[in-house]
A and B are shown apart, each in its own frame.
Chain A
Amino acid sequence: MSQLELRDIRKTYAGALDETLKGINIDIASGEFLTLVGPSGCGKSTLMNSIAGLETITGGSIVVDGKDISGMEPKDRDIAMVFQSYALYPTMSVRENIAFGLKIRGMPKEEIRQEVERVADLLQISALLDKKPSRLSGGQQQRVAMGRALARRPKIYLFDEPLSNLDAKLRVEMRTEIKKLHQRLKTTIVYVTHDQIEAMTLADRIAVLKDGELQQLGTPKEVYDTPENLFVAGFMGSPSMSFIDVAIEQSETGLTVTVEGSDGRTLSLPVPDYLESWAGKRVALGIRPEHVSQPDEQKRNNLMVAEGRFTVEVTEPTGPDVLAVIRLNDTDVQCRLDAEHPVNWGEETDLMFDMRKVVFFDPESEKRIRP
């Protein structure tokens, strides 16, 4: 269990014009589960490889428990990594795979045997110990890869998109398993993924990266409910947040915005008071699918709720609910509707807008307008 500090990490690849990492600062507490999330090419894998020592950084420092490890060889950093491709040694049995790192570090044979068995028990792979990796299924290989990392009891675990190669069902299972494992072992984990659901479900905190810059660092709830900017808002959540271009208006009941449906009908939506200084200006209104739903009696009396009738353009039944698309101010807006009261494509339906959790962005700076 160790604490990890990333201080102003910079990386420029040889011959590259742009920096791949542009000064990343993250403090990871001991026992914390941090996910690094971002689109491909955002630098998250580079950051992970830098922590592991597989890439040299061109600026900043990596500090573990107060000790700067930036210049150390990977083997001296006491960090283990689980790879997307598992990277199991194909010519070795599962047992030898797990024992390899221990053997190289000169651990006595008997201790190695015990350690391999402990890890195999933990991950329920005892029956597989004498098999070659090629004889295992994807999920089993994934377990062995984790076992190899666990066996060394390193200070920090790095997971590089470990579930991307698994099929959807197994991915969810392994996700739960990794979470359980973390709760049991209380280890410091840095987990890279491009899957924002994985990031949300696993993490204590999420670091959202884009173009080598940290966009936001916060708990899953913070990142989801109060995204710092348009990018984070659009990236986290599936289906993603819709952004409607609106003008803040001052009316006798308070601040409002007006949206226009595809059939020309308009609806006035209440907006919170902190936008007062934006009256008369245009902002981007960010609304998540779950904030637009079928009318709910209980919410009806709330001042921050509005109702209107709109034409549904597309419907996508997901099982528990139906995703519908309506058009507001010439933008597609996703709504999450009750599967029990289905609407069809092209039909009109009553929709309720819950404006309590809606966020607003400055269209110039793309930053969230804070209350």
Chain B
Amino acid sequence: MTDVVRTGFRPSRIAIYGVLLLACLVYLIPLIIMLITSFKTPMDIRTGNLLALPTDWTAVGWTKAWSEACTGVQCEGVKGFFWNSFKMTVPAVLISTLLGAFNGYVLSKWKFRGSDLMFGMLLFGCFVPFQVVLLPMAATLGKLGLANTTAGLVLVHVIYGVAFTTLFFRNYYVAIPDALVKAARLDGAGFFTIFFRILLPLSTPIFMVSLIWQFTQIWNDFLFGVVFASGDSQPITVALNNLVNTTTGVKEYNVDMAAAMIAALPTLVVYIVAGKYFIRGLTAGSVKG
């Protein structure tokens, strides 16, 4: 008993926690600075210390970023672009995750001649740099009549995401015994019944991994947004860039910071809500039985 109590005060313990705290602080400082700056007045920012708390707490930066700040010619804040991002991200995440689940199911449980080769080639999709596909993709979207639309962006992100989501699901399903599928087939279940009734209910952890990964990737994407969308359909990442680069008079750092916070908030929320599944899903294969 005494041993247990004493361990709490060992110098090594203190050192460990000290290092951990320091690491936390290093990682948190940018966020803290952004957060406190977003609540300062422009005056406060110019005269005060970067790390000091606001002398005058104000949400003006936030309201202005949301609905008044200029992003190029129009000055309606990031509000519209925020919803644009949602309209792009939610369908793209759902479609790419579902497609990935289906692909993974087929590539692991219904192997056909050349299915392993196909999986290998699909994996290449994870390594193709964004820049490489810009021009062909622009031409394709133009031909499809989807240039400069949210639907076009969704398509691009689905195509890019499927490689990753397929990898996630295929590797997850490989660890699920084939006998389950065989048993279901003998029970009379078909291709879709087996997927929806047997495998999908087992897939929560990997679904969370795929959802978080895809949401973060697509929400944070800038390049595709700036190339394949214009004006009204631009996602928030592009709007944020425009907002920060549109200078009329004095630079309003509080507005910039608030806008950046708004842009980052959804991914943060998704991670906080589903984060435990993310870790669980990523380690699912490693702790079997």
What B residues does A73 contact at CB under 8 A?
Answer: 185
- 8 A Cβ contacts from A73-91 to B: 73-75, 79-81, 83-87, 89-91
Task: Contact check, B179 vs A91: say whether CB atoms are below 8 A apart.
Answer: no
Contact A75 B183 (CB under 8 A): no
From A3-11, A97-105, A177-185, A195-203, give the one contacting chain B. Answer: A97-105
Query: What is the bound-complex CA distance between A73 and B188, given in angstroms?
Result: 9
Residue in B183, B185, B190, B202 with the greatest tally of chain A CB atoms within 10 Å: B183
CB within 8 Å of A: which of B95-134?
113
Q: Is the CB of A101 within 8 A of B188?
A: yes
- Do A81 and B186 form a contact, CB below 8 Å, given A89-B198, A90-B202, A91-B202? yes
Within 8 A of A (CB), among B198-223: 198, 201-202
Q: Does B249 contact A (CB under 8 A)?
A: no
Q: Is the CB of B188 within 8 A of A52?
A: no
Interface code A7-48, partner B: CB below 8 Å = 1, 0 otherwise? 000000010000000000000000000000000000000000
Residues of B171-211 whose CB lies within 8 A of A: 177, 179-180, 182-190, 193, 197-198, 201-202
Do A104 and B193 touch across chains, with their CB atoms under 8 A apart? yes
> Do residues B187 and A75 form an inter-chain contact, with CB atoms below 8 A?
yes
User: Quick check: B113 and A54 within 8 Å, CB to CB?
Assistant: no
Report chain B residues within 8 Å CB of A89.
180, 183-184, 197-198
Contacts of B197 in A (CB 8 A): 89, 100
Q: Which residues of A contact B113 (CB under 8 A)?
A: 14
A238 CB, min distance to chain B CBs, angstroms: 28
* A83 close to B179 (CB less than 8 A): yes
Does the CB pair B177–A85 fall under 8 Å? yes
Of B180, B185, B187, B188, which is within 8 A of A54 by CB? B185
Within the complex, which residue of A53, A84, A87 is in contact with B180, where a contact is CB–CB below 8 Å? A87
Interface centre among B184, B187, B188 (most CB of A within 10 A): B187
Q: Give the complex CA separation of A344 and B187 in angstroms.
A: 57
Residues of A whose CB lies within 8 Å of any CB of B are: 14, 49, 52-54, 73-75, 79-81, 83-87, 89-91, 100-101, 104-105, 148, 152
Question: Could you show 15 A-B contacts with beta carbons less than 8 Å apart?
Answer: A49-B182, A53-B186, A54-B185, A54-B186, A73-B185, A75-B185, A75-B188, A75-B190, A81-B182, A85-B177, A86-B179, A87-B179, A87-B183, A104-B188, A104-B193
